[in-house]
A and B are shown apart, each in its own frame.
Chain A
């Protein structure tokens, strides 16, 4: 991932995806009210403070929901289909969308891996080793 500009026009998102390419999942914690949030906003949605810091999640969580996509949005992604998209509740208390092993189920414990998808590296959650 040398071309970080292609990741997003938003600097916060560019940083987040650059972290993913290095095997990290960032989330924000408010220094004033201690609320954790995802996605990164640079401002706390609980109290409005701009004193938020980025922390790295350990990569462990639980599947909240999961769908298996058979009809991708573009021909370029057809080679990856079917792929599973999940909502994952990280142990740090935030939820994010990510890829997952299609054999997983709601409530399953998972850990993050990082795999190529389309033009970038994405987090993909699998059963713990």
Chain B
């Protein structure tokens, strides 16, 4: 069995003078302390990538920095799904007996370590270098294409999408480490400046600095007894112009595999942590996976179903849209918040009856999907 025995994070936001390694170390030490482990007791280390610090072997850089000599270490790359993918591999490593305690860590000074243009250009490379990027495409443009088609096909409105941004900001207001905490209204979202229409500024997540980490162990060694019960993935395309079935981009298939692996149904899940790089990302994932009907995410948010008191509390840390997006650490934050909710230590954000949780990461443009079912034991 695999338990998320410790978690830790830095604050997210623009942190002048921060470095990717400094953020990684702060988060990693916090997670190890939370699990009650010394660095020498970690025997596996997984990390992702940092656009501001390209490196051919980032995992051993971090291991050396922390004084860890792991029996298993390397980096993974699955875009925004990397965080959940790291946790999935950590589960495989401890389940197989290969490792006892795997540190997964993600950090990047994505906001302060480069200019905004650099960040936008680097991220646009998730698109095809020959057949997409030359059109002046950006990540918001790829998701703008998704949004336009999805809204047209299922009757989703701009007001429906705006609800997602408002909800994430409301939740982030309760998290002291969140990047964006001032409340916003649906009118604010719909009046914000156009980025890649139909997406506007407040439909997009910010670029943040931050670091976050978790320790996955073979035994339940801490007071946080949160078990990884099932996992799944699906990868149907890389480039949005090559996506074939717009009714299942892979999220549904990935979620189905995780639920089957856990022996559970959607209705068994009490807490949701869903990737939300843009408002459309969150709405599409909720609807495609089947938590709500098509075009039903906005009305469910308006009805309070995703709030702290709702029947499907969602991204109570504020998600990428407001807690912040520092790259790999952006998607890993969903997992860390789920652990805190299931362990009953989310403070004033704590929801009732969070005995099970579902985490979903999306990399690229609905390209890489990784899903995970967690439970309190």
Contacts and interface: CB of A to CB of B under 8 A. Distances in A.
Nearest to A20: B134
Contact of B135 (A10, A65, A122): A122
Interface stretch (B1-9, B55-63, B137-145): B137-145
29 contacts: A13-B130, A13-B131, A39-B128, A65-B148, A67-B197, A68-B144, A68-B197, A69-B136, A69-B140, A69-B144, A70-B193, A70-B194, A70-B197, A73-B120, A73-B121, A75-B117, A85-B135, A85-B145, A85-B196, A86-B145, A87-B145, A87-B240, A96-B131, A97-B131, A97-B132, A106-B148, A106-B149, A106-B152, A107-B152
B241 A71 contact: no
Contact of A64 (B131, B132, B149, B193): B149
A93 interface: no
A73 B141 CA distance: 10
B76 interface: no
B364 interface: no
A97 B148 contact: no
A2 interface: no
Contacts of A67: 141, 144-145, 147-148, 196-199
A11 B30 CA distance: 50
A87 to B, nearest CB: 6
Interface in B175-234: 193-199
A83 B140 CA distance: 13
B78 interface: no
Nearest to A71: B195
A19 interface: no
A74 B144 contact: no
A77 interface: yes
The 6 A-B residue pairs with the shortest CB-CB distance, nearest first, are A67-B144, A13-B130, A65-B149, A68-B197, A70-B194, A65-B145
Contacts of B196: 67-71, 85
A72 interface: yes
A64 B169 CA distance: 32
B124 interface: yes
A117 B138 CA distance: 15
Given A80-B136, A85-B136, A120-B134, A66 B241 contact: no
A94 to B, nearest CB: 10
Interface string A92-129: 00011111000000110000000001101010000000
Interface string B81-124: 00000000000000000000000000000000000010011001
A17 B121 CA distance: 21
B281 to A, nearest CB: 14
Contacts of B242: 95
Nearest to B145: A65
Given A65-B149, A85-B145, A71 B135 contact: no
A62 B242 CA distance: 16
A99 B145 CA distance: 12
A49 interface: no
A115 B233 CA distance: 41
A120 B130 CA distance: 12
Given A66-B145, A87-B240, A74 B117 contact: yes
Given A67-B141, A71-B195, A85-B141, A118 B240 contact: no
Nearest to A96: B241
A66 B140 CA distance: 12
Given A85-B136, A87-B241, A118-B136, A8 B130 contact: yes
Nearest to A95: B241
B135 A98 contact: yes
A117 B199 CA distance: 23
Nearest to A86: B145
Interface in A27-83: 38-39, 64-75, 77, 80, 82-83
Given A69-B138, A71-B196, 8 more contacts: A10-B130, A67-B148, A67-B196, A67-B198, A71-B138, A87-B145, A97-B240, A120-B134
Given A95-B241, A96-B131, A97-B241, A73 B144 contact: no
